[in-house]
A and B are shown apart, each in its own frame.
Chain A
Amino acid sequence: MSGPGVPRAGGEHTGGEHTGGEHTGGEHAASEPRGRVSVRIPTILRSYTGGAAEVTAGHGTLREVISELDASYPGLAGRILDDGGRLRRFVNVYVDEEDVRFAAGLDTPVPAGAQVSVIPAVAGG
């Protein structure tokens, strides 16, 4: 394997014009309105979502998804992003299987039907 930038299936979805059904995580999309994405919330942040382990938002860039989540669950963005609006050092965010640090960071496209996971990075070894 080489470094970041391994081509991945899903690049054609960046326009966001597709319906959710054919994407990874389609079983989530099937129960959601068209154009939604599902976001898995770690235990540490569930106090913001009323205990919900999974919530939804509209598709777009990761930055837009987080911004919408913050509108629905005030304070959530401040836990994921630092004061400068960057991803916190000890948070990992995945869009489907891809660590966004290997993709376009907060500009990573989150197509309809995608699964976003927010996971504390303090693990392993």
Chain B
Amino acid sequence: MTAQSDGTRAPGTPRLGNATGLSCRECGKITDLGPFYACDECFGPLEVRYDFPRLTRADIQAGPQNIWRYAPLLPVPQDVASRPTTEPGFTKLVRADGLAAELGMRRLWIKDDSGNPTHSFKDRVVAVALAAAVEMGFKVLACPSTGNLANAVAAAAARAGIRSVVMVPADLEGQKILTTAVYGGTFVTVDGTYDDVNRLASELAGEHEDWAFVNVNVRPYYAEGSKTLGFEIAEQLGWRLPEQVVVPIASGAQLVKIDKGFSELAELGLVEDRPWRVFGAQATGCSPVSEAFARGWDVVRPVKPSTIAKSLAIGNPADGPYVLDVVRRTGGAVADVSDPEIVDSIALLARTQGIFGETAGGVTVGVLRKLLASGQLDPEAETVIINSGDGLKTLDAVEPAVTVPAAIKPTLEAFQAAGFDGAGAA
């Protein structure tokens, strides 16, 4: 993208905290901070560069109980906590003894990001994108989405008092359609796959220079928001890195940024620099990264998705090659599970932990189980898995697997006759 001259941008370099510029992840070319996302040499993705200050655990712990406690490590104005945002993050890290016992693991934790304002991890990335976009002079917050991002963008824009334009495939889960439409922004349902919607968004981003498509033209800033998952996991473990982490893969950015978050904490001396292994989880019906991992490729062949895990149904994942890099560098793996395994894993998580994850959570638990069985995950190593969203948004997926009993009369006799007294009751 060339320098903007349309007068809609704030003059000069945007004030984005300790961020100093952008660099191409492919060819290394350095660009100024601005609304750029692809390298003008090679089309490679751009990544935020920083000059971090000296930072202590106490500095961070003195911050707010949300992602803005890590503002010095994010590309945002440093007064961001005083601006209107949804204040996501600092979700619970649940010690998962029930699921660990079921799977024969020594120590397992669930980072439960369904606790965010719109019930998925997307509130993190959107909050960072919004803060950076406003600073760069954008007037509209937009996105192509598989649903969770749609919720997060529509809500964040409503909170900030700016217009949103949200585009989704028309065949999304009904719950995700309703939980987007309620915020009253511009809502576009598209007859096509997510990859089709993504393409349309990429073309629109070239035509509307004051629209910030959070995961397109401000994607370098947006993606940095997922580092906060890594920061929080480490802080909540008592400033310690886990030995293994299992992360669902859609575009792959979340996995790559959790790894980056761990690396930055180690570089800053905030945690002991110990090895960790990163594992990725996909649905078999959309498993281009898992396929590439299994075949030893360093690129990802796009696929046309067909899975109930719609929030992960990205057939052409932008960060796929970087996921392969991270997983291989750390000694992890990528695997995939079928739709029936996803549903079964949602039920397992609910039954053993009292956590109702969405389909992506089922994918992650399913892959955890699969990689334990194959010996690729070590049951003795401390492990964290990500539950990225809320089961209430993907009710259709579990409906066939859940038994709702017939109604009884409100009498003791009817209760006993139905067999609810015994230990063997359903």
Which residues on A are within 8 Å of B, measured CB to CB? 1-4, 6, 40, 42-44, 46-47, 53, 79, 82, 88-92, 94, 97, 99, 101-102, 117, 119-125
A79-B199 Cα distance, complex, nearest whole Å: 19
A125-B2 Cα distance, complex, nearest whole Å: 25
B43 and A125 within 8 A (CB):
no
User: Is B45 on the interface with A (CB-CB < 8 A)?
Assistant: yes
A53-B208 Cα distance, complex, nearest whole Å: 13
Chain B residue with Cβ nearest A119: B202
Among A101, A117, A121, A125, chain B packs the most CB atoms within 10 A around the CB of A125
**In the complex with contacts A89-B321, A92-B199, A92-B316, A121-B43 CB distance below 8 A:** yes
User: Is B201 on the interface with A (CB-CB < 8 A)?
Assistant: yes
User: Is B299 on the interface with A (CB-CB < 8 A)?
Assistant: yes
A94 and B199 within 8 A (CB):
yes
> In whole Å, how far is B342's beta carbon from the nearest beta carbon of chain A?
18
What residues on B are CB-neighbors of A44 within 8 Å? 1, 38, 40, 43
What residues on B are CB-neighbors of A122 within 8 Å? 37-38, 43-46, 219, 318
Chain A residue with Cβ nearest B41: A79
A6 and B37 within 8 A (CB):
no
Among B250, B314, B316, chain A packs the most CB atoms within 10 A around the CB of B316
A124 and B251 within 8 A (CB):
yes
**DSSP majority for the A interface?**
loop
Which of A1, A89, A117 contacts B304 (CB under 8 A)?
Answer: A1
> In whole Å, how far is A79's beta carbon from the nearest beta carbon of chain B?
7
What residues on A are CB-neighbors of B37 within 8 Å? 120, 122-123
Chain B residue with Cβ nearest A123: B216
Q: Which of B298-346 contact A (CB under 8 A)?
A: 299, 301-306, 314, 316-319, 321
User: Is B194 on the interface with A (CB-CB < 8 A)?
Assistant: yes
> In whole Å, how far is B77's beta carbon from the nearest beta carbon of chain A?
24
Which of A6, A82, A91, A125 contacts B252 (CB under 8 A)?
Answer: A125
Chain B residue with Cβ nearest A43: B206
**DSSP majority for the B interface?**
loop
A125 and B215 within 8 A (CB):
yes
What residues on A are CB-neighbors of B201 within 8 Å? 123-124
> In whole Å, how far is A83's beta carbon from the nearest beta carbon of chain B?
10
User: Is B203 on the interface with A (CB-CB < 8 A)?
Assistant: yes
Tally of B interface residues using CB under 8 Å: 46
Chain B residue with Cβ nearest A97: B196
Which of A79, A119, A124 contacts B314 (CB under 8 A)?
Answer: A124
User: Is B42 on the interface with A (CB-CB < 8 A)?
Assistant: yes
Chain B residue with Cβ nearest A42: B206
**In the complex with contacts A79-B43, A89-B299, A124-B304 CB distance below 8 A:** no
A1-B171 Cα distance, complex, nearest whole Å: 14
> In whole Å, how far is B125's beta carbon from the nearest beta carbon of chain A?
9
Which of B43, B195, B250, B319 contacts A91 (CB under 8 A)?
Answer: B43
**In the complex with contacts A3-B303, A90-B38, A124-B43 CB distance below 8 A:** no
Q: Which of B216-256 contact A (CB under 8 A)?
A: 216, 219, 250-254
A99-B196 Cα distance, complex, nearest whole Å: 10
Which of A2, A90, A101 contacts B43 (CB under 8 A)?
Answer: A90
A120 and B317 within 8 A (CB):
no
User: Is B26 on the interface with A (CB-CB < 8 A)?
Assistant: yes
B318 and A123 within 8 A (CB):
yes
**In the complex with contacts A43-B2, A44-B40, A91-B43, A121-B316 CB distance below 8 A:** yes
> In whole Å, how far is A16's beta carbon from the nearest beta carbon of chain B?
25
A91-B338 Cα distance, complex, nearest whole Å: 30
A125 and B304 within 8 A (CB):
no
Among B43, B199, B301, B318, chain A packs the most CB atoms within 10 A around the CB of B43
A120 and B202 within 8 A (CB):
yes
User: Is B359 on the interface with A (CB-CB < 8 A)?
Assistant: no
What residues on A are CB-neighbors of B213 within 8 Å? 123
What residues on A are CB-neighbors of B199 within 8 Å? 92, 94, 117, 119
30 interchain pairs, CB-CB under 8 A: A1-B306, A3-B303, A4-B304, A6-B304, A40-B203, A43-B205, A44-B38, A79-B42, A79-B43, A88-B42, A89-B321, A90-B44, A90-B45, A91-B43, A94-B199, A101-B301, A102-B304, A117-B203, A119-B199, A119-B202, A119-B203, A121-B316, A122-B44, A122-B318, A124-B144, A124-B215, A124-B314, A124-B316, A125-B251, A125-B318
Chain B residue with Cβ nearest A125: B251
User: Is B198 on the interface with A (CB-CB < 8 A)?
Assistant: yes
Q: Which of B91-146 contact A (CB under 8 A)?
A: 144
